[in-house]
Amino acid sequence: MGCFPCFDSKEEEKLNNPVNEIDDRKQGQPTVSSNISRLPSGADRMRSRSNGGSRRDLGSKLPDLKDVPGVQIAAQIFTFRELVTATKNFRPESFIGEGGFGRVYKGRLESSSQVVAVKQLDRNGLQGNREFLVEVLMLSLLHHPNLVNLIGYCADGDQRLLVYEFMPLGSLEDHLHDLPPDREPLDWNTRMKIASGAAKGLEYLHDKANPPVIYRDFKSSNILLEEGFHPKLSDFGLAKLGPTEDKSHVSTRVMGTYGYCAPEYAMTGQLTVKSDVYSFGVVFLELITGRKSIDSNRPHGEQNLITWARPLFNDRRKFSKLADPRLQGRYPMRGLYQALAVASMCIQEQAATRPLIGDVVTALSYLANQSYDPNTASGHGHRGSGEKDERRHRDERGGRILKNEEGGGSGRRWDLDGSEKDDSLKETARMLNNRDLDRERAVAEAKMWGENWREKRRQSAQGSFDGTNL
């Protein structure tokens, strides 16, 4: 599913200030000039070699950046011929994927034997010189374990190619939707691990970069996976610098992928970090449900994931219907409840009621570290069909799921027989009601999961230390 303008615009977005300034006070990131005119081509690089130029120092080849203090953009510059050789002339056997901006090929650099992914931008596609430039600059300046690494680029003539580290497991979309018969679906632990890592990538963009970077194209096909299902965000051509000083948003032409765009952004073009939080919520629901954000092959009323899921949030007896059937019941019931609570917070229609991504990271770090063993009947989860296994977690007094003494948990009591006697249950029901959500209570809930988990880890580490020093 490619990117496209959600609505037609009478004016093309101006190319001025593709990247303004990224302050290095927080992360040591260099400041970027706002009047960048072009990137050097492979031909420029070849000419510079004869003058003793360095191949790897892109910063020294950018005439508009070289005089700016602190700028050190280190991406390799490739000739088109080098990338033709690396991909064996872009042969079909090297093709590994295609998006709205072009085709991606697997290649091997002749100079270093490094395996890479080469994205060849479609000259008639959606990404122009501005988006190409933004992606080179963003990925050259922003570095995090959950962001894909840019190795270099090619700008020979009208050719525009980007060279990334190769991600052997493909995209999250490849592991969630339209699975071939020989591919096992992702288990619960892996899904929570991917969600947590992807959220950390967004947190870096929103909270560590200064000014914040709004990703604007968060979707399952843009989350790439390396060995061990470690997720990394890719495709930064649509990224925008967030609002600064007293501004609440940035206004821009509406771009994105249908099914992932936040409603206020799609309607007004006003972009905030909360727009990314909404898109994250959609992807998190994809992970939980196994459904696509938009699926025209499903019955009417189920084609839009958010439209289908929202009514189910209001009835906890239907929560199990939101779990991916391919999991075959192999998930922790409490973990499902808490994951749905996070997803519900993220996809609120009103941006102000969505949590900050840092609060989401706190909650998901807790969930990702609650390892679920489907072969253990007494663990955090259950195995088998819903109602029978839920009884394993009921106490004798009220048939409720109680806080797990070892794992911290949410501290909420979930009444499985449908009664509304417990005050905390009413609070949870209100939290999951998409129109009456109390943001402060929901954020406190998420923080409590993480704090309980961290305290348990601290106590365990202290106990281990004390035991070895008796």
**3-state secondary structure (DSSP) of residue 154:** strand
Exposed / middle / buried, residue 24 (Cβ in 10 Å: 0-12, 13-18, 19+): middle
Asked if residue 219 belongs to a known ligand binding site, the reply is no
Catalytic residues: 217
pLDDT number for residue 215: 93
pLDDT number for residue 101: 75
Whether pLDDT at 262 is above 50:
yes
Query: What are the Cα distances from residue 462, in Å, to 362, 369, 371, 456?
Result: 22, 19, 21, 10
Whether pLDDT at 315 is above 80:
yes
Question: Parallel, antiparallel, or unpaired for β 255-256 and 230-233?
Answer: unpaired
Tell me the domain boundaries of the chain: 33-67+73-165, 172-458
Q: What is the pTM of this model?
A: 0.71
Mean pLDDT for 330-339 is: 94
* Amino acid at position 109, single letter: L
Cα separation, 186 vs 163, whole angstroms? 28
pLDDT, greater one: 412 or 444: 444
Whether pLDDT at 421 is above 50:
no
Comparing CA positions, the residue from 38, 6, 2, 32 lying closest to residue 19 is 32
Virtual CA dihedral for 439, 440, 443, 444, nearest 10 degrees?
-150
Q: What does the pLDDT look like over 216-226, one tens digit per residue?
A: 999 999 999 99
Mean pLDDT for 252-275 is: 88
* Lowest mean per-residue pLDDT among 8-12, 128-132, 373-377: 8-12
Mean pLDDT for 38-46 is: 51
pLDDT, greater one: 305 or 30: 305
Comparing CA positions, the residue from 426, 283, 280, 433 lying closest to residue 359 is 280
pLDDT number for residue 66: 38
pLDDT number for residue 468: 41
* Domain spanning 33-67+73-165, CATH architecture: 2-Layer Sandwich (3.30)
pLDDT band at 147 (very low <50, low <70, confident <90, very high): very high
Q: What does the pLDDT look like over 389-413, one tens digit per residue?
A: 444 444 333 333 233 333 333 333 3
172-458 has the same fold as 33-67+73-165? no
* Domain 172-458 CATH class label: mainly alpha
pLDDT band at 375 (very low <50, low <70, confident <90, very high): confident
| Residues 430, 438 contacting (CB under 8 angstroms) | yes
Taking each continuous run of H as one helix and of E as one strand, the counts in the chain are 13, 16
Average pLDDT, rounded, for the chain: 74
* Residue 181, preceding peptide bond in cis (omega within 30° of 0): no
**Which sign, positive or negative, has the C-alpha torsion 163, 164, 166, 169?**
negative
| Residues 171, 97 contacting (CB under 8 angstroms) | yes
Q: What does the pLDDT look like over 155-192, one tens digit per residue?
A: 888 889 999 999 999 999 999 999 988 889 999 999 99
pLDDT number for residue 244: 75
Q: What percent of the chain is predicted at pLDDT more than 70?
A: 63
Phi and psi at residue 236, to the nearest 5°: -105, 15
pLDDT number for residue 331: 94
Comparing CA positions, the residue from 387, 186, 197, 386 lying closest to residue 280 is 197
* Lowest mean per-residue pLDDT among 57-71, 290-304, 318-332: 57-71
| Residues 233, 227 contacting (CB under 8 angstroms) | no
- Number of Cβ atoms within 10 Å of the Cβ of 203: 20
